[in-house]
């Protein structure tokens, strides 16, 4: 019966070749059926064992089982290889192709303008200060010499809110002590002066809130940059020179500045700053109002514990949107807040 055993090895080789070269899962399953399935060749061999002489059966059974084990292993290996093949992309990657460019974001035009203003002020020794957007009435108004019955409050009597969680409860005897979204960055003047002795040289970029209806030039949320300079012997000349320097830095050499008398309760005297450049002329205007400013009112110094006989100072507040609109020729303030990339991409 040696001839019968001799047939196993070539049969196994044929089966292995078929399994290893099965082009896809279906072909592999067919090959498995043909060789190892209930009606497969090796199953048939197993069944024939019974017809062998008793003494030959163990050796033949062992040989068949060894061959079957080898085929099972080949089947599993091929199955895994085919699965990996199926998971691969149909079209091979071409690593010589240029990379996919990842779109880089950019800074919002308002951020760019704020950064330019900050950079200009840093050149002349100003530091950036910060304060809370949810503010108490005392810092926003009373300490700035604007008591509750002051008419200057009317335009800013605005978004009152409940006290923020964990807020210290302010109890200023002269104030009604409510909380609100700050209407200007001037509140930070008070906070800074309360927290440090003079001299002071700060600018405060920040977001402010007013009950304005949105139109082409107004929005209930906008941005300001506040400035405060306190030292001995400070004059309006310092103020004017500084403002002119900064506007030339951020808007170009052909800028002109004009001070027009105005009223703010926290400065005395007070001015509005008018601005002119070729773009303003193109808009058919000579001047555009762009900021408020003045010499710090001695009452404000008294409120923060600075001696008004020793210390003098000036302060100003710019609207950032105004400057950005002038700089980029934007005619509607609302464009800044829509986050339309077609708009933002241009800056
Ligand atoms: N707080 C004023 C406003 O929001 C702007 C302003 C005017 C700020 C005069 C100042 C100042 O510091 O001195 O309209």
Q: Over the stretch 281-331, which tens digit does the pLDDT of each residue have?
A: 988 899 999 999 999 999 999 999 999 999 999 999 999 999 999 999 999
% pLDDT > 70, the chain:
99
First to last CA, the chain: 91
Rounded to the nearest angstrom, the distance between the alpha carbon of 267 and the centre of ligand 1 is 9
The tens digit of pLDDT for each residue in 9-50 reads: 888 999 999 999 999 999 999 999 999 989 988 888 888 888
Any ligand 1 atom below 6 A from CB of 131 = no
Ligand 1 atom 7, closest CA: 292
- Mean pLDDT score of the chain, rounded to an integer? 92
Q: What pLDDT does residue 3 have?
A: 65
CA angle 276, 261, 185 (to 5 degrees): 80
What pTM value is reported for the model? 0.72
Q: Which residue's CA is the nearest one to ligand 1's atom 10?
A: 316
Tell me the C-alpha distance between 213 and 217, whole Å. Answer: 10
Q: Which residue owns the Cα nearest ligand 1 atom 12?
A: 316
* 258: three-class secondary structure by DSSP: strand
Pocket of ligand 1 contains residue 223 by CB under 6 Å:
no
Is pLDDT at 1 greater than 70 in this prediction?
no
The single-letter DSSP state of residue 101 is P
Q: What CATH number is given for 109-344 in this structure? A: 3.30.930.10
Query: Is any ligand 1 atom within 6 A of the Cβ of residue 294?
Result: yes
**pLDDT, tens digit, 9 for 90 and up, residues 163-209:** 888 877 777 888 888 999 999 999 999 999 999 999 999 999 999 99
**DSSP conformational letter for 286:** S
Domain ranges of the chain: 2-87, 109-344
Q: Which of 145, 266, 268 to mutate to test the pocket of ligand 1 (most atoms within 8 A of CB)?
A: 266
Cα separation, 153 vs 316, in Å, equals: 18
Closest ligand 1 atom to the C-alpha of 185?
1
């Amino acid at each position: 019966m040696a001839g019968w055993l001799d047939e196993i090895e070539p049969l196994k080789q044929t089966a292995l070749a078929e399994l290893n070269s099965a082009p896809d899962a279906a072909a592999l399953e067919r090959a498995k059926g043909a060789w190892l399935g209930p009606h497969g060749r090796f199953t048939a061999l197993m069944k024939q064992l019974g017809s062998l002489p008793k003494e030959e059966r163990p050796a033949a059974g062992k040989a068949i089982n060894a061959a079957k084990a080898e085929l099972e292993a080949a089947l599993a290996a091929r199955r895994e290889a085919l699965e990996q093949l199926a998971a691969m992309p149909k079209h091979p990657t071409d690593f010589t192709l240029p990379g996919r460019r990842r779109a880089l974001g950019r800074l919002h035009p308002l951020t760019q303008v704020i950064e330019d203003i900050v950079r200009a002020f840093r050149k002349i020794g100003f530091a950036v200060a910060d304060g809370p957007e949810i503010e108490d009435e005392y810092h926003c108004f009373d300490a700035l010499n604007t008591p509750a019955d002051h008419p200057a409050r009317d335009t800013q009597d605005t978004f009152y809110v409940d006290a923020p969680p964990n807020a210290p409860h302010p109890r200023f005897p002269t104030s009604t002590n409510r909380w609100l979204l700050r209407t200007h960055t001037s509140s930070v003047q008070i906070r800074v002066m309360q927290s440090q002795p003079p001299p002071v040289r700060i600018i405060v970029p920040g977001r402010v809130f007013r009950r304005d209806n949105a139109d082409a030039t107004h929005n209930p949320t906008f941005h300001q940059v506040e400035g405060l300079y306190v030292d001995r012997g400070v004059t309006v000349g310092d103020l004017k020179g500084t403002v002119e320097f900064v506007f030339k830095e951020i808007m170009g050499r052909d800028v002109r500045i004009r001070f027009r008398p105005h009223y703010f309760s926290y400065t005395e005297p007070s001015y509005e700053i008018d601005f002119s450049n070729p773009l303003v002329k193109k808009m058919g205007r000579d001047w555009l109002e762009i900021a408020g400013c003045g010499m710090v009112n001695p009452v404000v110094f008294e409120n923060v514990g600075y001696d008004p006989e020793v210390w003098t100072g000036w302060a100003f507040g710019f609207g950032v949107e105004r400057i950005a609109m002038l700089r980029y020729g934007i005619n509607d303030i609302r464009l800044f807040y829509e986050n339309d990339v077609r708009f933002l991409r241009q800056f």
